[in-house]
Chains A and B, each alone.
Chain A
Amino acid sequence: MPQFDPSTFSSQIFWLVVTFALLYWVVAKIAVPRIGEVLDQRARVIQEDLDRALALKGETDQAVQAYEKAMAAARDQAGDHMRAVTSEAKATADARTAELSAVVGKQVAEAEARIAKAKEDALASLRGIAADTAKDVVAKLAGLSPSQADLDAAVTAALKETK
């Protein structure tokens, strides 16, 4: 087995030391600092980006909150305004209605008074006509001439009955 030939050991170990030391120098002085720096820098950039994203998210949340608050205030204000306008309109309408109904009531009362008067007039003239007619009928049929008082009483009684 060539592995157990001691005459090769010195050269193997010598070149092992030389090459290993060279590689160690490359790794320790060049590779590790450079790669480490890149990895650190990347980690730093990622952390910074994350921090910034977090800060921006906070700002966004605040903006959303402010927007919602403003929206709620506007909604309240709009509601108040609506209620005010509605009640004002209602008051105006009520006033107008009352005014109109007063006018109409007055007119109705006047008309009723007129009608009552016309009816009374009509009844008064009816009474006279009825009394005359009754006098004539009595005179023609019975040949009597009743007194005016009797005639009036009879007509009044008859009118009461017909009522």
Chain B
Amino acid sequence: MAEEHIATGAEHGEAAHEQHGPMEQFTIKPLIPIQVGRLDLSYTNSALFMTFAIALSALLFWGATRARTMVPGRLQSTAELLYSFVQDMVVSNTGKEGMKYFPFIFTLFLFILFGNILGLMPYAFTFTSHIAVTAALAFFIFFAVTIIGFARHGLHFFSLFLPPGTPLWMAFILVPLEVFSYLIRPFSLSLRLFANMLAGHVLLKVLAGFVIALGFAFGWVPFLAVFGVTFLEIMVAFIQAYVFALLACIYLNDAIHLH
């Protein structure tokens, strides 16, 4: 399937054969080919939807903070609701010190939320269904949290791997376990979002394929299923953005407060 991918514009013209499988929707197509040295930095459909996501967020904030009235309008209410929601999440999981990282968590939440939601539009591309994107975000959080932890606590940060009050003989079992669960974090974090978005979109596509295959006689059965699953996916889009941001908060809390 990798052959479908087109790295440059020249290849794009030749290899434009369309394949209508459930995985076709995840194909990355370059829109503006950009090659820097040996790196392919093409502006793709993925980049386009990232642009849409941040443009929509920026538009929301522009509309919401234009008037800044005491009694908020619709847009201002929406932005304030999102703000308070993420703020509560940050404060309740990392405490007051965590508010320093609130803009980052807020950005993370909005970026994933808009990516997930926009991806549900017909003909849209879901950049959060790509492991490269989710892994990049997850590893960034992992390294940032580790650096913050060492910066705040120095070598004392290693005490994270041994909960206080543990008997010494237990340390031989517990420390490797804790280290492993710490190192696995970026993988579980990135796979969770990636797998959720991938599975949802494949499911929708397969069910939609059945609608065509069964025709007018029985097509309405999978059509109703698509209808229901779409609502489920809207919920999943929100929940996965929430879970990603929440876990980032929990990891930050470990770095700030150890245990």
Q: Which residues of A contact B (CB under 8 A)?
A: 1-5, 7-17, 19-20, 22-24, 26-28, 30-32, 34-39, 41-42, 45
**Smallest Cβ-Cβ distance to A39: which chain B residue:** B80
A12-B44, A16-B137, A27-B61 provided; 16 other pairs, C-beta below 8 A? A1-B23, A2-B27, A3-B194, A7-B5, A11-B30, A12-B46, A15-B41, A17-B136, A20-B54, A23-B110, A26-B61, A30-B61, A34-B65, A38-B68, A39-B84, A41-B70
A35 contact set on B, CB distance < 8 A = 61, 64-65, 79-80, 83
- Label chain B's interface by main secondary structure: helix
B11-26 residues at the A interface, CB under 8 angstroms: 23, 26
B110 contact set on A, CB distance < 8 A = 23, 27
Q: Is the CB of A12 within 8 A of B80?
A: no
Q: Is B42 an interface residue (CB 8 A)?
A: yes
B68 contact set on A, CB distance < 8 A = 34, 37-38
Kindly specify which of B98-106, B150-158, B216-224 makes contact with the partner chain: B98-106
Complex Cα–Cα for A97 and B83 (A): 93
A38 contact set on B, CB distance < 8 A = 65, 68, 72, 76, 80
B131 contact set on A, CB distance < 8 A = 3-4
A5 contact set on B, CB distance < 8 A = 1-2, 5, 28
Partner among A13, A22, A26, A32 whose Cβ is within 8 Å of the Cβ of B83: A32
Complex Cα–Cα for A1 and B110 (A): 27
Which 4 A-B pairs give the minimum distances between C-beta atoms? A15-B47, A28-B103, A34-B65, A19-B50
B41-90 residues at the A interface, CB under 8 angstroms: 41-44, 46-47, 50-51, 53-54, 57-58, 61, 64-65, 68, 70, 72, 76, 79-80, 83-84
Q: Is the CB of B41 within 8 A of A10?
A: yes
Complex Cα–Cα for A15 and B136 (A): 11
Q: Is the CB of B133 within 8 A of A12?
A: yes
Partner among B57, B104, B129 whose Cβ is within 8 Å of the Cβ of A26: B57
- Closest Cβ–Cβ distance, residue B193 to chain A (whole Å): 12
B111-142 residues at the A interface, CB under 8 angstroms: 111, 127, 129-133, 136-137
